[in-house]
Structure 1
Amino acid sequence: MIQEYAATLGVKVEVIRFALCLFAAFPISALYNFIPSNQIQIKHLYSIITSGIITCVVFSTSSFLQLAVQVLLIYYTNVFFAKYKFGPLLGFGIALAHMSWIHAEAQIWRENDPTFVDYSAMMMVLLIKMSSFSYCVHDGTRKESELDSYQKEYRIINMPSLIEFMGYSFFFNGYWVGPAIEFRHYQRFINQEGEYKNIPSTVGPMLKALVLGLVMIVLETVVGKHYHFALTTSEFFFEKTLFQKLLYINIAGLFVRAKFHSVWKISEASALVSGVGYAVTNGKERFDAAENVDVYAVEFAENPKMAMDGWNKYTANWLRRYVYVRVRQSWLKLPLTFFISAFWHGFYPGYYLSFLWSVPLMQAGRAVRKHLRPVFIQGTLAPYKKVYDAIGFFATLFSLNFLYMPFILRTMSSSFEIWKSMYFIGILLPIVVQVSLTTFGLGKFIRRAFIPLDKKTQ
């Protein structure tokens, strides 16, 4: 039925499936609020049953059963091996292997099979939950002096019951497209601990997120068909001048991202209906506890770090807390983190091209912040700080659109062909900036020249 409906509308069947799941989360979240606060077990069961039914109806019974088997396997892996150093790696590895199998089916073996039901997005969210849970349980067995502040806050000292763990795994808010919240976040919410004892009205923030999500759908649907990275493989693109090509990919990038913005904002809105999107930090109320994307931060970033910090925030936090921080070799931290990020998405060569080339982009961004930014803050060029910010905005926008174009195109050949038509400018510029400021010492020279001696900070 879903396939027939998708064919009638002329859209991909995956779009219909996830639209049904995303909007079903609103009544599910609303009904959850009627469960008595002391019926904790009922709350867990409610998540398991509602997510299970929708997965079976919209996707397939097989997909839900496979996810359930993995959840059981991860749970008992932590029961028996959490205290060992290899325990969290074992849990991480099991989830990663399962997800890789699903990606291989969706992207290689059965990519063109119309009967195949792709549920990899749910598995990607579940991987984050399973791996972070495994590390948090292991952190609960370690000495407090060995943990940082984040690990202390989210460590799990007492192993939860199986029903509680399954309730977390299949929690309806974020189950399909994220965000993948930490287990302790879920536990505080379900048990109504701390700020969750009295959740204020979330109608305003919910409507704001929902409207923004719907606006993004309209933009992507109406305008996105005219500006899309997929069109860069046609003669229409190659006939353009270099300036026109650069302008086109920057416009297209906005509407390509609009699709992701819309999905995450709608998911965020449903999380505000249940209240899990509410939080209090340092006595200040927040309604962004389930925010997976900060649209303003991404689209108006002044450097690559700001853009990446605002994009897919919960996944970025997972990569930082459970990959980057856990890698002991400093030289391996950044490359391995980007590699795992690409691997998390799947096996298309374009993913790896985008994420691995993010390494020199981030390094160039760090070099600029270290050597040039101080000149415009405490140096003699401070009056031109707005000019620096404007250049940073355009440079960041162009760099990200250039480097992440292969992520959408997916193939190595088409990506290189388009990059070549633009003289690899988006790759060469970050490398030139990095080498000039650090290797050749231009950064130190600029700081000496433009920062007064009494204001210098090394």
Structure 2
Amino acid sequence: MDALFVPLAGAAGASVDQVKLITCLLVAYPLGSLFIRIPSSQPVLKHLFNIGITLLFFFPVLGLYSAFTQLLASVLATYYLTKYYHAARMPWVVFVIVMGHLTVNHIIRSIFQLSYETLEVTGPQMVLVMKLTTFAWNVHDGRRPAEDLDKWQTTKRVTEFPSLLEFLGYSFYFPGILVGPYLDYTDYMDLVNETMFKKLAVKGKNGRNVPAGRKRVAYRKMFFGLAYLGIFVVIGPTWNYGLALTPWFLEQSMLYRIAVFQLCGVIERTKYYAIWTLTEGASILTGLGFTGLSPSGETTWNGAANVDPLVIELAPNFKVLLDAWNMKTNVWLRECIYKRVTPKGKKPGFRSSMITFTTSAFWHGIAGGYYMAFMTGAFITTIGRLARGNIRPLVLPAPGAAPSIAKRTYDLVGTVITILLLNYAASPFMLLSVKDSFLAWGRLGFYGHIIIGGTMAFFYTGGTKGLRGLQAKQAKQTNATEPISTPVHEKQFMLPPSFDQLVPPPQK
């Protein structure tokens, strides 16, 4: 089928693999409308539909025969391990197998120096690793006493083991098989059985439980996804992080370099906004992502979202930014790694954070740029916590009062610093090479390290003490009755479990 895509690739100025990927994401829209027309009384047909469309994507369209075979092997290994191996370490055995398999393929990709434009097994395998390891934990939780589980574990646990067809349908759910977002097994079965819809008192068309509003939201997502894609295709080849490695960049003044670099960061992110927004829309058309009714009575479909571009580009702090980026992967890291390695009865600490960080690093690949981005982000999150715990309380308005000028200024400065540090820390993730990353940082005057180092030096050499004193004085003046919280620097240092999702896996 390459003959169909070569002319399109030439016209768009993209690789054939990129055109194939976008084609699959767009074709998923009408297929999603077909999927939801299959009655909930015919779940077998829905599972077969998912498997059949995934086979269509991998074989005639993408030509990834070996890749699909490898994915199927991981799926079958997970299925039979979770079914017959009941030991407490079962989820970790599954994790080692599927993550080890992914790491081997990352190494192979590196050996052959495949560009991010090349479609091969690691892209869909990264999504599948999240699904399979989550399923293993859900099954494990289904075998544990209910009183030992937290809210998420109770909601997502699997108490009735699925048939092989159900599990294959879940594993190969077609809108998310290539680039995500991943979903857990209980959400998939709710989708197939239309459980979330049957709770509604209002019926959709033809007396079915499926509520109206899907198409309105889904095709709006498609419009924005294509708009992001157009921006990247037209502007991306010129304005990207690689510009920092050119002689032209070195000829510019330092302030101009830093300003241009921020534009490059926005353009770099549009390709991820594009693919995630497109796949979100296709998922919504199948019925995934329903989150209830708004106060005005309209249906809302936010559950399949994986990114919120506006929040990311205008985030007042790093926490807000991270919560809006690669949302589903953040859930996986938190629920299947961060919390699982924490001893029972204890709060997650440095050990839990480091294990989560290492997992995320291996999940993304083996390029040195990934690790540079992760470590830089860890320190960015640390200074964010210091600022939030020591400066923010001084500018918060009284309960019920409008935000003060000081609070608005704090948020504005926070937004500027957040975007500066985001683009600085994320650039190695795109450049990949340690040498190129340091070269780019050097041509930016290492401004990110200066901000991080200067901020930490301020807080740890007396700044925290002075600010806490101001807080105490302010509390006394306003007759505050709540105790002052423990200084941030006295809490145990923790690496963020979710920073490494600043940039998603490179699309193959």
Whether 1:314 aligns to 2:300 is no
CA contact (8 A) 2:127 2:180 kept: yes
Partner of 2:351: 332
Partner of 1:271: 283
* From 401, 408, 411, the counterpart of 1:389: 411
* From 291, 314, 336, the counterpart of 1:300: 314
Q: Tell me, what secondary structure is at the counterpart of 2:176?
A: coil
TM-score, normalisation: structure 2: 0.85
1:208-223 aligned at under 5 Å gives the runs 208-223=220-235
Taking the aligned partners of 2:106 and 2:17, their CA distance within structure 1 comes to: 15
Q: Per-residue displacement from partner, 1:388-419 (whole Å, max 9, x unpaired)?
A: 01000000000010001000101000111111
Partner of 2:454: 432
Q: Per-residue displacement from partner, 1:422-457 (whole Å, max 9, x unpaired)?
A: 2322023223323432x3342242132253323363
Q: Tell me, what secondary structure is at the counterpart of 1:340?
A: helix
Per-residue deviation, 1:275? 1.3
Whether 1:73 aligns to 2:77 is yes
Taking the aligned partners of 2:43 and 2:465, their CA distance within structure 1 comes to: 59
CA contact (8 A) 1:301 1:307 kept: yes
Relative to structure 1, the CA distance from residue 281 to residue 364 in structure 2 (aligned partners, 3 Å threshold; closer, same or farther) is farther
Taking the aligned partners of 1:7 and 1:261, their CA distance within structure 2 comes to: 20
Partner of 2:422: 400
Whether 1:417 aligns to 2:429 is no
Determine which structure has greater relative contact order: mean sequence separation of CA pairs < 8 Å that are 6+ residues apart, divided by chain length. Answer: 2
Per-residue deviation, 1:112? 7.4
Matched to 2:100, the amino acid is: A
Task: Between 249-258 and 414-423, report the one with greater CA deviation.
Answer: 414-423
Relative to structure 1, the CA distance from residue 452 to residue 182 in structure 2 (aligned partners, 3 Å threshold; closer, same or farther) is same
Partner of 2:499: none
Partner of 1:354: 373
Partner of 2:56: 53
Whether 1:39 aligns to 2:42 is yes
Partner of 1:287: 301
CA contact (8 A) 1:59 1:117 kept: no
**Structure 2 residue runs without a partner (length 5+):** 199-208, 343-347, 486-508
Per-residue deviation, 1:7? 6.1
Matched to 2:280, the amino acid is: E
How many residues are paired up? 455
Identity of aligned residues (%): 28
Q: Per-residue displacement from partner, 1:325-365 (whole Å, max 9, x unpaired)?
A: 12226112333323322221111111111112211111111
Taking the aligned partners of 2:156 and 2:302, their CA distance within structure 1 comes to: 18
CA contact (8 A) 1:375 1:382 kept: no
Relative to structure 1, the CA distance from residue 174 to residue 112 in structure 2 (aligned partners, 3 Å threshold; closer, same or farther) is closer
Taking the aligned partners of 1:169 and 1:62, their CA distance within structure 2 comes to: 17
Partner of 1:452: 475
Taking the aligned partners of 2:354 and 2:18, their CA distance within structure 1 comes to: 32
Partner of 2:187: 185
CA contact (8 A) 1:277 1:291 kept: yes
Relative to structure 1, the CA distance from residue 184 to residue 74 in structure 2 (aligned partners, 3 Å threshold; closer, same or farther) is same
**Structure 1 residue runs without a partner (length 5+):** none
Taking the aligned partners of 2:300 and 2:340, their CA distance within structure 1 comes to: 29
